[in-house]
Structure 1
């Protein structure tokens, strides 16, 4: 059914393109005639004769995401973005999620300082973005990628973003798009060291005492056949208060100094600041077997741990003195302390034959974590006493076989077999002293618990998949791709117990599904600078355990009847590239069947949150991006302007379970998003050739960026309840202005200063965001000539 529907949608799309192409081409050609009077020689980027720079230019136009094998970006379906090392280092960035936040169609939810559960959405689809590290999928059965902000920012060499449905290649969680963070691997002796410090401008408004250290060493041996790299990153900061302390009693009107917020909660202080430590270690090795084969491996272990400290009380006694005889500042489910350790391993073998390519890869992503907090109902307080814990043990394992071969000089076929095994268990225990026996240094072992858990859920799953993809280069300027994937998904030993679920402690019914995910695309270069793309495909995502059995933080109810969400997506767009401007315009639309959405705010008992399958939803919109060179200073660098705008219209079309939601906007999706950035790029770089160029023609080392980000307010429930300003749990309109200024010296040193949220605009993105702060950094990079 999905396949037939996809074919019909592709036919309709082609007809629609044909009917609208006349007007569309008139408008586009007018733009072209005004700004793109350039021949092919004009639009070719000028390259230094340095071989490494030429290689880097070629690599920047080849992408391994969104295609079975590395391909030219012009042949990848849909709207694709590549962020290289120079862009990463010369823009305001404090964590990996910041790199993609400024891209069209990408939204980072709850981006408030350090987020232990970062959520990145492409084109508005919840849990619809597949996140990878060096090609290894990071998501678990909860749909989480907790490791994302543990990855050292300085280890990331490149980021590839492919928007649109890619379940035809990757399976579940790829309805909205795919993001691949790629770490570096030098091919000669290279050393890098980084140290930095930052802090808030105003007390308790932003991360304080930010300390960062990073070091890496890489080398190549045996005539560069053996390449190795080891890196270590350590970050720490004192955090800031980002959520309120709420009085949990029945009547708090006699609590002097407290106030009632717009939801009706009595606020008596704040929950304290999150004191965070992050460390990340990674080892990579590659070995060339002959001229056509390679064996590679990656192993990493990383941890973040945090502890909430320095609670602020608003309560006062009759003499206007702060009252500390009662402790309400722990036990909310939002604070406490925790430790999250990730272990990732990957081994792969690849080989090229005559007109063929084979790769086998084995990967494992594991998390061991715990979180503890006080239990106020039993007398716990900030110093210890009775409490509760949440322990998570999860493992995601992947075995992939890929074979690509050329039929002739036009057609090539990629086939793959993939097997996955998932395991996850989450348990809650009662503690006699929640502050005892802490392990906040990231030792990969869960604390020993006494007795049985009072609340728990878990599941295991096996997945068997196969896909075939036909790529055809009909002409130099015309290519097509047709793919089909089959997934068999079987959950087993699923269970839940305790008050977090409305179900009993008996095993839950297993979730079994079979999904076909087809995709078809066409890319056409009308001229050397004008590219047209169109694609249609389906994708799916399995309901996460966190959606089936929500946590006990807030007011949520479980739903064991959730079904997989299926999306049918299509898009078409155009890209114009010249020395005068790079422009892109894409329209996208996703029809969601059995759409998983959240009903209720989950903030109060009278409005509990529960995840449900809606009958039918639709997300459509437009992505517009532009990069405009303003002035070339020659040996002193260049000035350019970059901007993008995303319109996302997401509504529930049919929903028999809740007819009142029909026609309403989907929660947690901003309608308007945009970014504007002004870049002064230096003529020097430490990254493409590993050292600054000592040629006297390259003397400019100054670089600077000014980046403004905005997003409209959006709803936090399916009823589209009014967005309350300055209120915890809501999503206000967002605006932030960030800047970075740096200088690259001739001997491999790079000094820079960042100013974050310069306007000190403090809005709520569920939690309150951090205010104005600064971060200064010294970087040194050296490699052998």
Structure 2
């Protein structure tokens, strides 16, 4: 198998290098100083130059994402300073995202937006139950806030915000690759005077990698695979100031781990997500801006696994199969208004109303788990009112915020903001933020940032009833964050450097509380983290660039309530993690990159080893409208694992909780632009 992959990789490179050259790559047309002047909106909801953003912000253009070989949201995390993905190759509920030293299931301390609309749902508060494998094939740009942002975005904008901005275009793209991978992407857009209509389609499937030497509590199998399929659809309609977008995401994963168990042929997870948003935007030159939007979101998750084998306990007639079927609905209305006051100040205000609920929360099984464990003979969805496993409670949120951006002089700027969120089922919360920026010259920038944020308990946290995942607690308090950050940036034509020192104090972390024979969720821990993010970008030659970052944690201490046990962050999080990328464009027709992600040891992994993974991309512009791309992830076919936030068994007498990652993954793509 390995020999075949190597031949495939070398052959593909050979085909690329023998082709004639035509076309143009735009990656190196801007200086690094000009890139710092790119306008972004995620940090203030108004356009502002990247270098003057009142937050620590990362920006990814479409060209950069393509050259770095970033294909999904999950892969993007590895290129963001402060972030490290412990997401495994299956959509399991025990994988997690690390953000500034804090590990969190479902990534529910990160807010993910698609064209400004929330991907997070309110059952988990995160993105894991929807689709962290969202494809970035038609992305226009991605803007990322690193740090607390609840003053603008409310709950879950705790450690950061990612806004994925897409573009519907006229093109066709085909891909093939390892693991019998097949992919189709296509788009069409038409303009009729003031009316614009567009559609983008994504279809993907693979047979998965074969993962050997896995842990199986049933001792029936020593290998598995991680078969995956996904579909996406985006519809666009705009007329004058009105824009309508509809997104549909579907992801299906077979085999691998589910509920911390292996059972090939049975394990399956299917997630669906619909996003719809209608918005109206009006501008008064550069003086004022109004945005009004109406949103609807629906998410569904359906799963099935084998919890016990035939012949175990009362399960004499067949394996005990277990799964879930959850549905989440959300309606949201917002209005944001910004106005320039004199020449030096800009005032922004906004309001938002949200209604969300879990109208469907049921279990699936082939045994009557709410009765006498009678055998059904087939998998039945248990939908009687007394069989609900998530109470159908409605969440209502009312929000208002204000923000003042001030340009006091050539050297001093400030941003002050305040937001109040009112909930019907948890405590209300007020979140302030303050940023002061000092620029003694165009080359040097200093920022002092103070912010507060919160993660409100999700509907699952509050209202789960024996779902097989959690037992809810309606008395939970929001998890809160106080953050202080000091930033220095150096900017010139060929070199940029930034250093960000942050101190985070987190209170009322939510995890499992044990009291006698009862296990339920509670606010059982606090965390204090101090860390440093170093980020650089050097244009060594006009067509050669080195970029990367290092995140180092000086202190990462979790204080756990006496008598309770949880996995502390310092055991789950590497002390240092980094990404380094070389980007090279030898001619106007060719561009390529080589990236290495690395981390120090993780205590919960069996070998505790540090890790370094290489990935590479080659782009060849065949003509003005056609491109050939080769992506290779895990270039050296390294065997490594990601940790589980909770162990799922014992191996050799010790707790075991880790997921094998895929080996070398190759994809060859052709894109034609109409």
CA contact (8 A) 1:593 1:614 kept: no
| Residue number among 291, 297, 304 corresponding to 1:372 in the alignment | 304
69, 80, 88: which one pairs with 2:65? Answer: 88
- Work out whether residues 387 and 434 of structure 1, in 8 Å CA contact, stay in contact via their aligned partners in 2: no
Look up the match of 1:693. none
Partner of residue 290, structure 2: 358
In 1: Cα distance, 2:209 partner to 2:293 partner? 42
Q: Among 485, 490, 503, which residue is 1:589 paired with?
A: 503
Distance, in Å, in 1 between the alignment partners of 2:253 and 2:600 is 31
Distance, in Å, in 2 between the alignment partners of 1:434 and 1:467 is 53
1:391 to 325, 339, 348: 325
Q: Does 1:668 align with 2:550?
A: no
Size of the aligned set, in residue pairs, is 609
State the shift of 1:481 in Å: 0.6
Please tell me whether residue 73 in structure 1 is matched to residue 5 in structure 2.
no
Given the alignment, which residue of 606, 631, 653 partners 1:724?
606
Paired residues of 1:557 and 1:610 also in contact (CA < 8 A): yes
Alignment partners' CA distance in 2, 1:373 and 1:148: 19
SS of the residue 2:363 aligns to: strand
Q: Which string of whole-angstrom CA distances, capped at 9 and with x for unpartnered residues, describes residues 628-671 of structure 1?
A: 11222xxxxx1111121001245346544359999x65453322
Q: CA RMSD in A?
A: 3.7
> C-alpha deviations, 1:128-171, integer Å up to 9, x for none?
21111000011112122144445332121111011111111111
Q: Are residue 516 (structure 1) and residue 516 (structure 2) matched?
A: no
Partner of 2:420: 486
**1:706 maps onto 2:640 in alignment:** no
Query: CA offset at residue 377 of structure 1?
Result: 4.9
- Secondary structure of the residue aligned to 1:372 is strand
Aligned residues of 1:235 and 1:278 also touching (Cα < 8 A): yes
Partner of 2:187: 216
**CA radius of gyration, larger in:** 1
Tell me the distance in 2 between the aligned counterparts of 1:609 and 1:368: 26
Q: Give per-residue Cα distances to partners, 1:436-493, cap 9 Å, x unaligned.
A: 79xxxxxxxxx965656756124431111101111111124422110111011123xx
Q: 2:123 matched to 1:144? A: no
| 1:388–1:429 CA contact under 8 A, matched in 2 | yes
Contact 2:172 2:185 in 1 (8 A): yes
Cα distance in 2, alignment partners of residues 547 and 421 from structure 1: 17
| Structure 1: segments with no counterpart, 5+ residues | 1-47, 200-207, 249-266, 289-293, 312-327, 438-446, 492-511, 601-605, 633-637, 684-699, 717-722, 726-730
> Which consecutive aligned stretches of 4+ in structure 1 deviate over 6 angstroms post-superposition?
57-60, 113-118, 432-437, 549-557, 606-610, 659-662
1:541 is aligned to 2:455: yes
Query: In structure 2, do the counterparts of structure 1 residues 590 and 53 end up closer, same or farther at CA, with 3 Å as the change threshold?
Result: closer
Query: TM-score, normalization: structure 1?
Result: 0.71
**Partner of 1:169: helix, strand, or coil?**
helix
How far has the Cα of 1:75 moved from its partner? 2.7
Q: 1:674-689 to 2 correspondence within 5 Å? A: 674-681=578-585
Match of 2:231 in 1: 279
Report SS of the residue matched to 2:263.
Answer: coil
For 2:364, the equivalent position in structure 1 comes to 429
CA contact (8 A) 2:36 2:50 kept: no
In 1, the alpha carbon distance for the partners of 2:318 and 2:256 equals 13
Change in 2 beyond 3 A, CA 1:666/1:116: closer
Secondary structure, counterpart of 1:523 in structure 2: strand
Q: What's the counterpart of residue 244 of structure 1?
A: 214
Cα distance, 1:310 vs structure 2:
13
> Residues 657-703 of structure 1: CA distance to partner in whole angstroms, max 9, x if unpaired?
359999x65453322110111111366xxxxxxxxxxxxxxxx2111
Does 2:663 match 1:771? yes
Measure the CA separation in 1 of the matches of 2:602 and 2:520. Answer: 19
- 1:647 maps to 2:555: no
User: Is the CA contact 2:271–2:301 (under 8 Å) kept in the aligned structure 1?
Assistant: yes
Instruction: Check the 8 A contact 2:266/2:306 in 1, yes or no.
Output: no
- Asked whether the 8 Å contact 1:539–1:568 carries over to 2, the reply is yes
Q: After superposition, where does 1:295-694 map in structure 2 within 5 Å?
A: 295-308=242-255, 330=263, 336-353=267-284, 355-374=287-306, 376-377=308-309, 387-424=321-358, 425-431=360-366, 454=387, 456-458=389-391, 459-491=393-425, 512-547=426-461, 561-597=475-511, 612-614=522-524, 616-632=526-542, 638-652=543-557, 654-658=559-563, 665-681=569-585
